Structure 1
Amino acid sequence: MTQPSTTASARTRILLIGGGVPVLMAALAAVLMISWIPQLPAEIAIHWNGSGADGFGSVWSLVFVPLGITAVFCAVSVGSALPTVEEERPTFKQKFVLVTGMWLSALLSVGIASSVAGQRGLTDVVAAPDPGPALLIGAVVGLILAAIAWFVLPPADPNDGYGPVIDDEDTDRPGS
C-alpha cells in the first residue's frame, strides 16, 4: 500500500509540472507584453507569410494567446491525470501529456512575446521582424524544459492497462 505522503507528493508534482509552472510562464509573458504596450504602435503585426507581415491587429489579440491556450491545455491534462493516478505513478501517456504543457507554454510564450518585442518603437509595422527564429528558440527551450519535467514527475507506471502486469521488483530494465 502506498504511503499517503508519497501519493500527495506525486500529486503535487503533477499539479506543479503539469499546470503551475507552464501557466506561470505564460502569465509572465502576458505581463511582459502588457508592459510594452506604451512602446507599441496602435496596430501590430499578428500574422506573417513567406514575404513578411500580412495581418495586423491590436496587441491584446496576442497578449492572452499564450496564457489562454496554456491554461486550457494544462487544465485538461492535469484534470485528466490527477483522478486516475493509481498510487503515486502516472502512466506513460499521462506523463507525456503533462510535459507537453511545459513545451507548449515555452513555445508560445517565447515566440509570441518575442514577436511583440520586435515591434516596440516601430512606426511601420509592415517592417516587423519575422517571428520564426523566436518560435524555433521557444520550441527548443520547451523541449529542454519538458525533458527536465519528465524526470521531476514520478516514474511512469509500466502497468498502464494495455499489456501484461509487470512487477517492478522482478524487472531488470533500467529507468523503469
Structure 2
Amino acid sequence: MLVVGVIVPLLIAAAAVVVMIAALPDLPDPVAVHWGPSGAPDRFGSPVGPVLLVGIGVLAYSAFAFVMARAQHTVNARIVLAAAPFLATVLGVIAAGGLLVQRGIADARDTPSILPVVLVGFAAGIALAVVAWFVLPAADPVPEPEPADLPTLDLAEGARAAWFQRVEPARWLGVLLVVVGLAALVGGGVAMWLAGSTAVLVVYLVVIGLVVVAAVSSLFWTVRVDGRGLLARSVLGFPRITVPLDDVESASSLAAGGARDFGGWGLRWAGPGRVGIILDSGPALEVRRKSGGSLTITVAHSERAAALLNSLARRA
C-alpha cells in the first residue's frame, strides 16, 4: 500500500520537478502560468510556482496517504491511495508540460494551448488510478461481535428507558474548521473583490454559505435510543438516520478512528451499507442492521447506548 499510495506518487512528482528545473534555462521570463478558455495564455509569472505546486501538493497528499496506508484496509483507504498516483500524474504532467511547451519561445504570449497536455495528464492519471485500484488489497471484512460480548441491561418487563447524547466535533477539529473557513471566506472574498467582479464575489459568498450549511449539518448531531430504535438527527433537522428496533441485529461499543477507519470526519461512507458519523477518534457506537450494513457513531458513553439498544431489541 505504501508503494502504490506514497512512493510511486512521490517518484512521479520528483520526475516532474527535475524536468521543470532542467527546462528553466530555455524558458521566457516571465512564463505563462495560466491559459484562458480560448487556449491562449492570460496570466504570467515565475516558473517557481508550478514547481512548488507539484512538490508541495503531492508531498502534502502523500502525508495523508501515508496515514491511510498504515490503517486497516477499508474502502476509504483504497480510494485515497488510488487517488494519489492520479493526483501526482495530473499535476506533474500539466505543470511540466506547461513549461516544456514554452522552451525556446522569446515571449510567453506566443505559447500554444496546453489543452493536449491537459488531456494527456488526465488520461494518464486515470489509467494509473485504475491500475492502483486493482493492485491495492480489497477492504477487510468488518469483524462481527460475538453475542456473548454484547453489552446488555437488566430491564424489567414493560419498563421504558431512553438514552440521549449530543455529538459534536473534537475541539481540535472544530478549531481547524473555523480557521479554514475564515481563511476561505476572507482570503477568497478579498481576491474576488480585487478582481473587480461583484457578480463573481456574490457567487463565491453564496457557495461558501452553502458549504457552511453542509458542514454544520454533517458535524452536529443528536443521538437518541429508545423503544423505537436509534435516531441520529442533524442539528439542522436533516439528514436523519434511523435504525428501527426490529432492524437492530446487534449494538456494540468499539474504538473508531476518523482517518484510519472512515477516511475523514463528518458523515462518512466506508463501503456497501457501512455509514459513519465520525467526529472524533475514540469510543463509538456501532449498530448492525438485520437488513444489512451498519451505522457507527463516535460518541461518549457508547457502551451504555449499546447495552440499552441490545436489551430493547431482545425484548421487542
Query: Normalising to structure 2: TM-score of the pair?
Result: 0.44
User: How far apart are the structure 2 equivalents of 1:146 and 1:33?
Assistant: 24
Aligned partner of 2:17 in structure 1 is 30
User: How far apart are the structure 2 equivalents of 1:101 and 1:132?
Assistant: 22
Q: Deviations over 1:54-90 (max 9, x none)?
A: 11111111122112111111211221341x31xxxx1
Aligned partner of 1:57 in structure 2 is 45
Q: Does 1:93 align with 2:76?
A: yes
Contact kept, 8 Å, 1:27 with 1:67, in 2: the verdict is: yes
User: How far apart are the structure 2 equivalents of 1:133 and 1:96?
Assistant: 27
User: How far apart are the structure 1 equivalents of 2:68 and 2:74?
Assistant: 11
Structure 2 unaligned blocks of 5 or more? 143-269, 275-292, 295-316
User: How far apart are the structure 2 equivalents of 1:142 and 1:50?
Assistant: 22
Aligned partner of 1:80 in structure 2 is 68
Q: Does 1:149 align with 2:136?
A: no
User: How far apart are the structure 1 equivalents of 2:83 and 2:64?
Assistant: 12
Which segment is superposed worse, 152-161 or 54-63?
A: 152-161
Aligned partner of 1:130 in structure 2 is 113
Q: CA RMSD in A?
A: 1.6
Deviation at 1:157, TM superposition (A): 2.2
Aligned residue for 2:66, secondary structure, equals: helix
The counterpart of 2:29, out of the listed 27, 33, 42, is 42
Number of aligned residue pairs: give it.
146
* Counterpart residue identity of residue 59, structure 1: P
Contact kept, 8 Å, 1:103 with 1:145, in 2: the verdict is: yes
Which segment is superposed worse, 73-82 or 14-23?
A: 73-82
Aligned partner of 1:16 in structure 2 is 3
Q: Deviations over 1:77-118 (max 9, x none)?
A: 221341x31xxxx11111011110110111111111111000
Aligned residue for 2:41, secondary structure, equals: strand
Q: Which protein has the bigger helix share?
A: 1
Structure 1 unaligned blocks of 5 or more? 1-13, 165-176
Aligned partner of 1:111 in structure 2 is 94
Identity over aligned pairs, percent: 37
User: How far apart are the structure 2 equivalents of 1:154 and 1:132?
Assistant: 35
Which structure is larger by alpha-carbon Rg, 1 or 2?
Answer: 2
User: How far apart are the structure 2 equivalents of 1:35 and 1:156?
Assistant: 42
Q: Deviations over 1:123-175 (max 9, x none)?
A: 111111222221111111111111111122122224358226xxxxxxxxxxx
Which segment is superposed worse, 110-119 or 155-164?
A: 155-164
Contact kept, 8 Å, 1:92 with 1:158, in 2: the verdict is: no
Contact kept, 8 Å, 2:90 with 2:124, in 1: the verdict is: yes
If asked which structure has higher relative contact order (CA below 8 Å, sep 6+), I would say 1
Query: Normalising to structure 1: TM-score of the pair?
Result: 0.77
* Counterpart residue identity of residue 48, structure 1: W
Q: Deviations over 1:36-68 (max 9, x none)?
A: 111111210001112311111111111221121
Contact kept, 8 Å, 1:66 with 1:109, in 2: the verdict is: yes
